[in-house]
Amino acid sequence: MSSQNNTQNDSDNEECQTYRVPDQKSIQEILKIDNEDESLMKYKNRLLGSAVPPALFPDDERNVIFERLSLTVTGKEPSYLCLKNPKKLSDVTLKLHQADQFKIGFEFYVQREIVSGLKYVFKMKKLGIKLHKDSVMIGSYAPNSEKIVYQGSVEECPKTGVISMGKFVIKSQIVDDYGKVYLEFSWNLDIQK
C-alpha cells in the first residue's frame, strides 16, 4: 500500500516474465520420478514423506482451505476476517490510521496436493475508481496436517493526502502459479486520520 512497493513490484514483474512455471505434477508423480537415484529419493522423502498425508477435511474437495486473514497494526492486537464464508465479507470493515505500520497474514491448511506459488492479489477501489493493484507472494506448500500461518512484510499506510483517507473496497483473490483461483472475496478498509 506504500508507493515503495510499486517500484519493487515493477522490477519483480520484469523478473517474472523470464520465469517459466514448471508442468504441474501430483505428489504421486513426483515420488515416482527418478526412482533409481537413491540420494534424490531420500531428499524427496525428507521433503514430502513417503506418501501423501490423509486429507484433514475429507468431505472438502479443496486443496487449500483458508480460515482467516489477519491485519496486525504494529503494537496492537490483530484484527481478523473469517474466510470460511467469503460472501459475507463485503459488509466487514477493518480500520487503519494514516502512517500505521501493519502486516497482512493468512491462516490456512493444505491437503492432498502441493500448491505452487500461492499469492494474494488485490485491487483497492475508492468510490468505484481503482487506485492501487498489488500482489504478495505467500509461497509454495506441501500437504500438512498442521495449520499454516503466513505473515507478510510490514507495510505503511500513506501519511498524508485526502485521497489516502476514507473507505476503500479491497477486491481480493488468492491464486497459484497456474492461475487457479483458491479464494475470491471483497472486504472494506477504512483509513482514518
* pLDDT tens-place values along the chain, 193 residues long: 543 444 344 444 445 567 777 677 676 676 667 777 777 777 667 766 655 678 889 999 999 999 999 999 999 999 999 999 999 999 999 999 999 999 999 999 999 888 999 999 999 999 989 999 999 999 999 898 899 999 999 999 888 777 889 999 999 999 999 999 999 999 999 999 8
Q: What are phi and psi of 179, to 5 degrees?
A: 85, 5
Q: Which residue has the cell 524427496?
A: 44
Domain boundaries, the chain: 3-192
Q: What are phi and psi of 68, to 5 degrees?
A: -160, 160
Report CA torsion sign: 27, 31, 34, 39.
positive
| C-beta neighbour count of 126 within 10 angstroms | 17
- Termini Cα distance of the chain: 16
CATH topology of domain 3-192: Coagulation Factor XIII; Chain A, domain 1 (2.70.50)
Residue 149 Cα distances to 30, 58, 59, 146, angstroms: 26, 21, 23, 9
Is this structure's pTM higher than 0.85?
Answer: no
Cell digits of residue 24: 504441474
CA 156 – CA 152 distance, rounded (Å): 12
Residue 91 DSSP label: G
Q: How many whole angstroms from its chain centre is CA 157?
A: 19
